Chains A and B, each alone.
Chain A
Amino acid sequence: MKDFEPVIVAFCCHYCAYTAADMAGSKRLFYPSNVKIIRVPCSGKVDSLHIIKAFEKGADGVYVAGCLEGDCHFKNGNDKAAKKVAHMSKYLEEIGIEPERLEMVRMSAGMGERFAQVASEITDKIRKLGPSPIKAAAA
């Protein structure tokens, strides 16, 4: 387990988290390379099916990163995303996957530090949880 490197999918809203990730880049803030970003026009575009497929294909963790409360470019996509994440967490539990592997985070476009910090924290958390149970069984 010592060598376990989780793969984490981050669905990032174009207007906030994706920009924050670029900002982390221009500030050269190091964070673990485990996080792989998929850009979406709004966190409200993230489909429950995409979240669950990511786990099925082998993600050890998934998070959806949307705008701060009240800041959604499309009014309420971030709040809708948070509800979907909560709903899918319950489903993961049913399947037998730790619900903590899925998370909703919020940040604004200017928060490069927060992006890097969130990426590190979530990577640490998933690393402690170990490989996703479906991968562990296959190994």
Chain B
Amino acid sequence: MITAERKPLEEILAYIKPFKRILLLGCNECVTVCAAGGRKEVGVLASGIQMSMLKNGTSIEIREHTLERQCDPEYVEELLPMIDSADAVLSMACGCGVQQLATRFKDKPVFPAVNTKFMGGSDRHGVWTERCQGCGDCLLGLTGGICPIAKCAKQLMNGPCGGSARGVCEIGEDVDCAWHLIWERLKALDLTEQYLEIMPAKDWRPGGGSGPRKIIREDLAE
């Protein structure tokens, strides 16, 4: 899933300063799961904005709404009855959702209320970590299911660097060395010969190196 974190209130307030009526939009997908932009966070942010306004002696009209998914045009259509009564839209969805709105409502200013962070998963209740960088050419099959692109600070392809000590990366005590993990896992699986294979220099083009990416399923696309 895509993870996100709410932006500092100050930044959000700066975006919406010129406007009187705001549509504050949550998304019931990834940002709900990572507790950044579901119905609950929409309510909490609306309150925070309102109070910041009241504190300065002003006020703002905020309409709260949460879409099932902001990144699909059909769901966005749901906003038609309410979009006109808003001067601007503040979205708590990831960047995909924000852009979907901007594309659909060409004359409406759209602002992000969260910073989209990474593709990851939850380690435990309330903790999410990065798992994938969308390189477009998955090599997990060669690395024991552990990704050196997402998990190695240097994105090394052929074993650890000199900064790996006792399984920990030099950038921080709490960061595991991805290659150490890969080695331990391959050992456990009795697949260490995979480790010995030299991986050629990675072609970064499928990862976005040659411009915006697109997927077309011919059997489905109209």
Interface residues of A (CB under 8 A from B): 47-49, 52-53, 55-56, 91, 94-97, 133-134, 137-138
Residues of B within 8 A of A53 (CB): 43, 47
For B53, the closest partner residue in chain A by CB is A134
Task: List 11 A-B pairs, Cβ < 8 Å.
Answer: A48-B40, A49-B40, A53-B43, A56-B47, A56-B50, A56-B51, A95-B9, A96-B52, A134-B51, A134-B54, A134-B55
Say yes or no: is B200 at the interface (Cβ < 8 Å to chain A): no
Cα(A138)–Cα(B57), bound, Å: 6
Interface size on B, as a range, is: 10 to 19
For A91, the closest partner residue in chain B by CB is B48
Say yes or no: is B44 at the interface (Cβ < 8 Å to chain A): yes
Residues of B within 8 A of A95 (CB): 9, 48, 51-52, 55
B44 pairs with A137, CB closer than 8 A? no
Which of B10, B47, B57 is in CB contact (< 8 Å) with A55? Answer: B47
Cα(A96)–Cα(B50), bound, Å: 12
Shortest Cβ gap from B8 to chain A (Å)? 7
For A138, the closest partner residue in chain B by CB is B54
Taking each of A47, A96, A138, which has the highest tally of chain B beta carbons within 10 Å of its own beta carbon? Answer: A96
Which of B8, B47, B57 is in CB contact (< 8 Å) with A137? Answer: B57
B51 pairs with A48, CB closer than 8 A? no
Interface residues of B (CB under 8 A from A): 8-10, 40, 43-44, 47-48, 50-52, 54-57
For B126, the closest partner residue in chain A by CB is A83
Which of A48, A49, A52, A137 is in CB contact (< 8 Å) with B55? Answer: A137
Cα(A118)–Cα(B9), bound, Å: 32
Residues of B within 8 A of A56 (CB): 47, 50-51, 54
Shortest Cβ gap from A94 to chain B (Å)? 5
Cα(A40)–Cα(B56), bound, Å: 33
Cα(A96)–Cα(B9), bound, Å: 10
Shortest Cβ gap from B39 to chain A (Å)? 9
A49 pairs with B9, CB closer than 8 A? no
Residues of A within 8 A of B8 (CB): 94
Residues of B within 8 A of A94 (CB): 8-10, 48
Residues of A within 8 A of B47 (CB): 49, 52-53, 55-56
B9 pairs with A97, CB closer than 8 A? no
Cα(A134)–Cα(B55), bound, Å: 4
Cα(A56)–Cα(B10), bound, Å: 17
Cα(A56)–Cα(B44), bound, Å: 10
